[in-house]
A and B are shown apart, each in its own frame.
Chain A
Amino acid sequence: MSKITKDKITGIASILFGLSLLIYFIPYWVVTTDQLNHTNPDTFPKFIAVALIVLGAVLLIQAFMTQHRERKDNSAQGDVSAKSSSSFSWKTFVRSDTYCILATALTILLFDILLGRVGYLWTGCICSVFLLAAFRSKKWYHYVIVIAFTFLLYYIFAEILLVKMP
């Protein structure tokens, strides 16, 4: 993603979020009272919403101006971009960044789902082993280490620090 695209997305998201705060979230989710203290509970959130809209607009204008300038430069130099296409392959996918990110994110979500249901010890072991398997780790001692680490953390938090474990 180019810097201009990122700036455009950020600008639009900031404006939309600011507007949604002003139109929906602040009126419905902030309970206001009569102005006993000269300021209301919605004073600060409203200021933030307006600031988000203004900052988003400035960022958007900046992005369009940069794009306009770059287009001018590119038309002078000639278009050199080329499109590439590739077919999907599972073997390549499992070694891709997207796969690694998805596997990690999925494990984190799984951790949250399991933690309240089966407790920390099972959750820790299942999620750690799942993630190692997803990364296709073939070293057996990696599995032993993550399981031992789960037990060690349980011991430190539950037995020494007396944290009430799920």
Chain B
Amino acid sequence: MLEMLGSIISSLFSLDCLLFINLGLFAGIIIGALPGLTATLGVALLMPMTFGMDMISGIVLLLGVYCGGIYGGSITAILIKTPGTPASAATAMDGYPLAQQGKAGVALDVALKASVFGGLFSALVLLVAAPQVANFALTFSAVEYFSLALFGLTIISSISGNNQIKGLIAGMLGLLVSCIGTDPINGTSRFIFQVQLLSGVDVIPAMIGLFAITEIISKSTSVYRSEGEVQKFSNKGISTKEFWSMWPNLLRSSAIGTFIGAVPGTGATTSSFLAYNEAKRASKHKEMFGKGSLEGIAASESANNGVTGATLIPLLTLGIPGDTVTAILLGAFMMQGITPGPLLISTHPETIYTIMLSLILVNLFMLLQGKFFVRIFANVTKIPVVLLIPLLVNLCMLGSYACNNSLFDVKLAIIFGILGFVMILLDIPLTPMVIAMVLGDIAESNMRRGVAMSSGDYSIFFTRPVSLFFILIAALSLLYPTIKYFVRRYRAGKNSSGLEG
């Protein structure tokens, strides 16, 4: 045992390993920060580089890209309201308002620290309880996936503020967009106006359109107003005390991220929205959400980075890749002659523990590298609007092209940009549409699979305990404001009758 521990430590702290962790992180953060390029693309791009490396160096390089890529998405989400990856869409909701208030430094710092916290949390869960978590996650069938997605969709009600109906309309539009493409069950076509829509609408160009292009057009109105005006800017981060005061939120969000990550086929985007919703529900300052809440950023970032270690749970313990990144990682493992699965822990214990521990190291180095990047990127807020707009147009157009190397995606981004601008003019919130686009596909395909499983009996969603649990908390979260209202009225009535008596 001691011999194995020594061997693990010596390979983890070798110069090669440390160098590749940092290289991977550096590349990952840059790729994640560029709109249109995701952590998945980063891992896929760098995988050929690992052919000639030894196994540990290759894997830590890819893990660095993965973790860095997920974190990097938050940088542009906060600074220019352009989430680098879909997983950072929830971060933009509070990060961008903070950057506009001149608190970009604080927002970026919280995002970094929360990302590291979420990453470390899931790495520890991977180390300590991987087999147990994997077995529980595997009990999920289409029925549970549907109720989980339904629970995720209830966030629409809480982020729509005073525009509940408009939020629901936006949500319906998002669900409709998720229907475009080949039907997930029957394989027939739905709303395929162009052949490029066969595989549906890609979330990345849609998000660039809805968030970034809409913001660019809106921001252009302040070109003359901001002339000569010096943008308020503070590079100051968050104090350690203030950060740790959010520990219940961080723990809850990291746990959500870890749980969602362990369930194959869900992913970082779903987890960040779910955690954001739960953070808002539990917060004492609900009114701050959407206006620059640090709790919102912390929830979203710790949850999406919480996914990074958790996605390795089904991969390493059962050999099941839960998403595209882990599918690529599975390829990298097999290339090195290792087949992940239940036997891996007994045949290659040293390798598996080295990988698990390297994830902790990756997250610690991310804190150091992140500090460096935050200092550089925070300067974006100093760029005058007149110069920023052409730069952003360039970046967004190229980003929407690069996600699939398709000119059609540029057109999609523009269409969504115009739609988003009209929605803003009509006071229709944009985020419900993005959430519905992400969760719509999971909800619909699994609902239909669930109904098919039960031969058309919809009661299946209420008879399985995990599904019933999610449906109940979804219903509770929807009805909570109404219940609270009636309880308040009842109490007020009781108090006034007491006074009269």
Q: Residues of A with Cβ closer than 8 Å to B?
A: 1, 3, 6-7, 9-10, 14, 21, 25, 29-33, 36-45, 48, 51-52, 55-56, 58-59, 62, 95, 97, 100-101, 103-105, 107-109, 111-112, 115-116, 120, 124, 127-129, 131-132, 135, 137, 142, 145-146, 149-150, 153, 156-157, 161-164, 166
Contacts and interface: CB of A to CB of B under 8 A. Distances in A.
B394 A150 contact: yes
Given A131-B390, A132-B390, A145-B387, 11 more contacts: A10-B166, A10-B169, A45-B191, A52-B169, A55-B165, A55-B168, A56-B169, A104-B216, A112-B410, A153-B394, A157-B402
Interface of B: 30-31, 34, 37, 41, 45, 165-166, 168-169, 172-173, 175-176, 179, 183, 185-186, 188-193, 213, 216-217, 220-221, 223-224, 386-387, 389-391, 393-395, 397-398, 401-402, 405, 407, 410-411, 414, 417-418, 425-428, 444, 447-448, 451-452, 455-456
Given A55-B172, A100-B221, A163 B389 contact: no
Contacts of B407: 112, 115-116, 166
B224 A95 contact: yes
Contacts of A161: 31, 37, 41, 45, 402
A163 B405 contact: yes
B426 A9 contact: yes
A146 B387 contact: yes
A3 to B, nearest CB: 7
Nearest to A37: B452
The main secondary structure of chain A at its interface with chain B is helix
B166 A101 contact: no
18 contacts: A9-B426, A32-B188, A33-B186, A36-B186, A41-B183, A41-B190, A44-B444, A45-B176, A52-B172, A52-B173, A100-B223, A105-B217, A105-B418, A115-B401, A115-B407, A132-B390, A135-B386, A162-B45
Contacts of B387: 132, 137, 142, 145-146
A124 B224 contact: no
Q: Which of B37, B176, B213, B448 gathers the greatest number of chain A CB atoms within 10 Å?
A: B176
B169 to A, nearest CB: 5
A157 B398 contact: yes
Contact of B402 (A29, A38, A100, A163): A163
B389 A135 contact: yes
Nearest to A35: B456
B398 A120 contact: yes
B389 A29 contact: no
B398 A59 contact: no
Which 6 pairs between the two chains have the least Cβ-Cβ distance?
A38-B456, A31-B188, A128-B390, A41-B183, A97-B221, A104-B220
Nearest to A111: B397
A164 to B, nearest CB: 5
Contact of A108 (B175, B213, B401): B213
Contacts of A129: 390
Q: Which of B193, B220, B451 gathers the greatest number of chain A CB atoms within 10 Å?
A: B220
Contacts, number: 175
Nearest to B31: A161
Given A45-B179, A120-B398, A37 B427 contact: no
Contacts of B173: 52
Given A29-B192, A55-B165, A149 B386 contact: no
B220 A100 contact: yes
Given A29-B193, A31-B190, A137 B451 contact: no
Contacts of A142: 386-387
Given A30-B190, A153-B395, A166-B401, A104 B389 contact: yes
Q: Which of A32, A103, A112, A116 gathers the greatest number of chain B CB atoms within 10 Å?
A: A112
Contacts of A157: 398, 402
A1 B336 CA distance: 63
Contact of B391 (A21, A32, A146): A146
A40 B444 CA distance: 11
Contacts of A131: 389-390, 393
A151 to B, nearest CB: 11
Contacts of B179: 44-45, 48
Given A100-B220, A153-B398, A55 B175 contact: no
Given A10-B166, A31-B188, A127 B390 contact: yes
Contact of A3 (B397, B405, B411, B427): B427
A36 B188 CA distance: 13
Nearest to A17: B173
A128 B183 CA distance: 40
A150 B397 CA distance: 11
B345 to A, nearest CB: 36
Contacts of A149: 391, 394
A43 B447 CA distance: 11
A30 B183 CA distance: 9
A102 B419 CA distance: 15
A105 B172 CA distance: 26
A37 B223 CA distance: 55
A3 B426 CA distance: 8
Contact of B414 (A41, A58, A112): A112
Given A38-B452, A104-B389, A55 B398 contact: no
A93 to B, nearest CB: 12
B426 A59 contact: no
A39 B452 contact: yes
B186 A41 contact: yes
Nearest to B383: A145
Nearest to B176: A48
A153 B183 CA distance: 37
Nearest to A62: B165
Contacts of B417: 108
Contacts of A162: 45
